Amino acid sequence: MKTCLLKVFSFTAILFFAFNSFVAAQVTSTTSDGRNNTKPVQAEQAEARILQVTSDAGRYFKQGLLNLQDNRRPQAREDFDHSVEVFLMSGINLTSNNNAKARDCYNQLIETVYRMEFPTEKQTPQIRSLSATCSWNIDNKLADDVSKLVLTAPSVEQPTNSNALITAAVPNGATSPSNEVAQGFTDQKFEPSPLDDLAKLELNAEETNVDTPQAQIQIRMVQMAVDNNSLGMKFQFHPMIQQFINYYQGRGRATMETGLYRSGMFMRMARRIFREEGVPENMAWLGQVESAWKPTAMSWAAASGLWQFIPGTGSRFGLRKTAYVDERNSFEGATRAAARYLKFLANRYGGNWELAMAAYNSGEGNVDRAISRAGTPNFWVAYPYLPTETRNYVPNILATILIANNPQQYGFGQVRPAPQLMYDQVRVPSSTSLGLLAQASDTTVEYLRYLNPELRTNMTPPEPYVVRVPAGKAGEVVAVFKRLPTNTKVTNTALAKSQTGETWQNISNRTGISVADLMAANPNMPVPTGKVFIPAGNGVRNTSYQRPTNQPQTVAPTGGVRVVKAMAGDTVAKLAQRNGANAVEVANLNGLTSVNAPLAAGREVKIPVR
């Protein structure tokens, strides 16, 4: 189901429903003279449906172009969403060669919307070409005007709320955020979802063989778990569950090991929330199959977050998507929404968790139709009538649950889960710049974005908002914000660390801000102490300071991180321990998935500064 695009999209949210293949049966009709009509009736109906879907998608897309031309970007975003949704909700199998025209139109639509969000001089949106492919009646002038328009995005609008903390630190004379340009619709980066590969996964002969002595022993263990309800949920044993266990013990081993490791970061939180919502705690392992525990995982159809919500379902369960946040990517909020959705589905199907999981993957409509065709609410009976991905999805999750609950028995006893992701939570004023917040919490904007993946830009929403900051830093952040003068123009404010013994004149010399302005920005502070406010402007030269030293400098400060070089034989864990850092944070900061992976000698590794 998720095979045709592995690109990462941070543009508009896209409603997703699993694709149902059109029935390929050849139904013929007979004419009055006894001759068979060679054109199947269902084929004619399918063609008509494709034409209608393509036409409807074009209507929304054209309206989006008109809104974008008139600088109504939020409305344009919704129109482009609807254009894609028409395809996704149609039931057309867009991966099939039988539907080549619809597939090509859809793929080019996705690419064009992406290029309208992130255009470059070399890769502008090919709106004319899209129109030709889809047979849409879009005026060439409109297409060309929008293609040019998206290369020049409007400036960021600054809130006027007096308590807003808007701007980041602006070191070394960089331009201030008020001069920044908003490129595209969003600013979050994503990773491909593991579900993209699930639909095309085919188990080989070795994996489907459940007659080996080892497999038979494990099957008896599974049957015992089923009979005793020892996993806290009822399910029916089927050989496919053992087949996926075989897969993970073989060519899928690395996938399982990575998932078991990363689960440590979120599993305690997930179990707690699932328990509070009355959902079996082991259902939380659904997150491993959905996202491999990556909060920024996004499928090619833009199901997003740890729990791979599509926008429509996310909205049903309280997850907002605005220009500022996409709460499908949050930690706690999305986890609670996932638990509530699963509980809703289980109640819908009479407590049957297999059907609940199937509906979580492909939607209630697909499962309802499969049950209707099967004649009974049983996943394994309805199995032939479900989408391919869903057929793999449910036994995959059950196999993951069994392995996770007894890793030693299945050969994964050596995997040690990562430490729980630790952070503090702080309520900050509306439109707070992450740059300013990063300075207040002694970290980087990059790491704050990692801790707050629901934020779509480097600014919190225009409302008081709870953000996550590095563990142990909440007190410092609160202290900084408490002494922010009410009359301070925060749109031009940064922070600087003062050193013991420094005077206001010292800070004035290195920042280019007068002593009078510095003292006005820091009332009731006769001498610089700790972090001080800098009324930043284009004249700011430097907000950081290091005392001279005769010792050779082996690390370079980079604004909340320092860079060290790995030695031969280093892993993230070894390097982090040597530098007094948390191994998981180091791995996250450097885009690494394992703290035990070997590092090449000489590789530069970023270490968060406390």
Q: Active-site residue numbers? A: 290
Q: How far apart are the C-alpha atoms of 394 and 404, rounded to whole Å?
A: 15
CB 531 within 8 A of CB 507: no
Tokens representing residue 403 in the block: 């392995």
Tokens representing residue 39 in the block: 């054109």
Residues in the chain: 610
Q: Nearest 5°: CA angle at 311, between 307 and 312?
A: 110
Give me the sign of the Cα torsion angle 290, 293, 297, 303.
positive
Per DSSP, 595 falls in state: T
Largest CA distance in the chain: 105
CB 521 within 8 A of CB 528: no
Nearest to 453 by CA among 475, 421, 491, 419: 421
Q: How far apart are the C-alpha atoms of 302 and 310, rounded to whole Å?
A: 7
Q: How far apart are the C-alpha atoms of 456 and 188, rounded to whole Å?
A: 5
Tokens 């993957």 appear where?
361
How far apart, in Å, are the Cα atoms of 499 and each of 480, 530, 531, 546, 562? 16, 7, 9, 8, 19
Tokens representing residue 21 in the block: 């293949």
Q: How far apart are the C-alpha atoms of 303 and 13, rounded to whole Å?
A: 8
Partner residues linked to 497 by β-bridges = 531
Amino acid at 303: A
Q: How far apart are the C-alpha atoms of 38 and 456, rounded to whole Å?
A: 53
What is the CB-side half-sphere exposure of residue 470 using CA atoms within 13 A?
25
List b or e across 506-538, with b for residues whose CB sees 16 or more CB atoms inside 10 angstroms. Answer: ebbeebebeeeebbebbeebeebeebbbbbbbe
CB 50 within 8 A of CB 118: no
Burial (CB count <10 Å: 0-12, 13-18, 19+), residue 594: middle
CB 165 within 8 A of CB 533: no
Residues 6 or more apart whose CB falls under 8 angstroms from that of 175 comprise: 538
What is the CB-side half-sphere exposure of residue 51 using CA atoms within 13 A?
6
Nearest to 520 by CA among 563, 486, 548, 547: 486
Give me the sign of the Cα torsion angle 539, 544, 548, 550.
negative
